[in-house]
């Protein structure tokens, strides 16, 4: 039954004896006194604990045999959310909030006690009334997925939807997106929609909206403020710069990486400062004039996923490369060591790839700096084998660019030219 979901045997008997159900607000005395909402348990959990969601947003498990007292504060904390009409001010600029899912569009899942993509774009807008003091928001849901489930075909659908809006009256577009693969989507949109005439801001949240420490609302508010006041175009990732609520960063979509699993300032610009910083209501521009290389909008939305990102490490089995070749892969991006190196054990496989006319690009595992394959003999050997150094292109960005370039070129030489062209500021100064 839903009111006892995940509880069985001893824990179920405990709930029934104390007249408790999932969703009740309770105060429980154990080693300390805890107040919170009784949560469901994972379906494979033991029967010796109950779970509370505390006011700080975290869950805690309490062992049954240590519980001394149970007090019910209120029954059935869960409630049906009703739609609210949002008043619009015709004098404000208009933006589109496009939802794809992720933590920013999540709320409590009473099956698992975790969070799940559930909020619509309209729900997001309604939950952040401050948005409507800055912009008029139209909302749309493309899909509702955690970003680890988004595939290149999803990137293409987003790009096609945005291309269909190129002549709209929107001042800019916010894409609500999960953070785990947001940098990949941002990179693809940067290449596929280079020159897009209005700003595109991908916005996520490291902490879901049910938690008091959630960054969802402020990220959305400042993304809207950025779109209205930035006077630029391009694709950006807009997230907290650090743990402070006073500072939001706007990163170029091709120069950003998620560098922390959980902190609110997880995203960082690699090789420089964020393109823009938002300090309360003030926007600081760190971009140089004419920063974006492509001014005319000519969408190229094709892609080909027959590209592999190969991270070299001591003991790497070169047979993996041979398997990729036999599986029909058409391009390889190496994440090499240092200035751009891979071991001699891979040389024969690299030569086979060259014979098959695959594009091969070299990036570095180092977080910062540039590939330079002319310094050491091993690097010069790899140049002779046909590997193209990709300067300071971030490996993940290089992978996405290679998929895009492969889909928009006729042969490896044309692909190489695209890979070396600075299209969306993917190569930083």
The residues carrying an active-site annotation are 103, 179-180, 258
Given the structure tokens 């003091």, which residue do they identify?
Answer: 133
Number of Cβ within 10 Å of residue 158's Cβ equals 25
d(CA 416, CA 139) in angstroms, rounded, equals 39
d(CA 318, CA 322) in angstroms, rounded, equals 7
DSSP secondary structure letters along 15-61: HHHTT--TT-EEEEESSSEEEEEEEP--TT--SSEEEEEETTS-EEE
The beta-strand segments (E) located in 206-330 are: 234-240, 247-252, 256-258, 267-269, 276-279, 282-285, 307-311
| Mode of pairing for the β-strands spanning 247-252 and 276-279 | antiparallel
d(CA 335, CA 389) in angstroms, rounded, equals 11
Q: Where are the alpha helices (DSSP H) in 96-143?
A: 121-127
H/E element, 200 = strand 199-203
CB-CB contact of 284 with 274 (8 Å): no
Angle made by CA atoms 83, 88, 91, in degrees to the nearest 5: 170
Task: For residue 367, give the nearest of 389, 390, 348, 394 by alpha carbon.
Answer: 394
C-alpha distances out from residue 39 to 23, 147, 211, 254, Å: 6, 25, 14, 40
Give the tokens for residue 393. Answer: 């292109």
d(CA 373, CA 268) in angstroms, rounded, equals 26
């Amino acid at each position: 039954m839903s009111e006892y979901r995940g509880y069985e045997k001893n824990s179920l008997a405990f709930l029934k004896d104390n007249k408790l159900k999932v969703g009740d607000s309770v105060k429980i005395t154990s080693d300390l006194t805890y107040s919170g909402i009784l949560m469901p348990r994972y379906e494979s959990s033991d029967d010796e604990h109950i779970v509370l969601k505390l006011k700080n947003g975290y869950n805690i498990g309490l062992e049954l045999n240590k519980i001394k007292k149970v007090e019910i504060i209120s029954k059935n904390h869960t409630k049906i959310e009703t739609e609210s009409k949002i008043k619009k001010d015709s004098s404000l600029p208009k933006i589109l909030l496009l939802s794809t899912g992720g933590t920013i569009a999540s709320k409590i899942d009473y099956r698992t006690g975790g969070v799940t993509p559930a909020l619509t774009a309209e729900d997001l807008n309604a939950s952040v009334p401050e948005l409507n003091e800055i912009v008029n928001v139209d909302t749309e849901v493309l899909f509702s997925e955690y970003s680890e489930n988004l595939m290149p075909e999803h990137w293409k659908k987003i790009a096609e939807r945005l291309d269909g809006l190129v002549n709209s009256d929107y001042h800019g577009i916010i894409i609500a997106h999960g953070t785990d693969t947001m940098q990949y989507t941002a990179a693809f949109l940067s290449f596929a929609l280079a020159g897009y005439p209005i700003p595109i801001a991908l916005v996520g949240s490291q902490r879901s909206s049910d938690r008091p420490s959630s960054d969802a609302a402020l990220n959305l508010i400042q993304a809207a403020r950025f779109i209205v006041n930035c006077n630029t175009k391009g694709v950006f990732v807009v997230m907290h710069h650090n743990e402070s609520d006073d500072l939001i960063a706007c990163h170029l979509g091709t120069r950003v990486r998620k560098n922390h699993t959980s902190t609110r300032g997880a995203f960082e610009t690699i090789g420089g400062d964020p393109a823009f910083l938002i300090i309360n209501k003030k926007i600081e521009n760190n971009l140089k004039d004419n920063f974006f290389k492509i001014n005319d909008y000519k969408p190229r939305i094709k892609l080909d996923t027959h590209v592999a990102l190969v991270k070299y490490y001591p003991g790497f089995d070169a047979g993996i490369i041979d398997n990729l070749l036999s599986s029909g892969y058409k391009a390889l991006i190496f994440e090499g060591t240092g200035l751009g190196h891979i071991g001699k054990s891979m040389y024969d496989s690299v030569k086979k790839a060259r014979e098959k006319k695959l594009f091969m690009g070299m990036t570095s595992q180092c977080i910062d700096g540039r590939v330079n394959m002319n310094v050491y003999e091993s690097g010069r050997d790899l140049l002779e084998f046909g590997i193209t150094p990709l300067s300071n292109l971030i490996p993940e960005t290089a992978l996405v660019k290679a998929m895009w370039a492969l889909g928009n070129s006729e042969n490896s030489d044309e692909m190489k030219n695209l890979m070396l062209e600075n299209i969306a500021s993917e190569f930083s100064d």
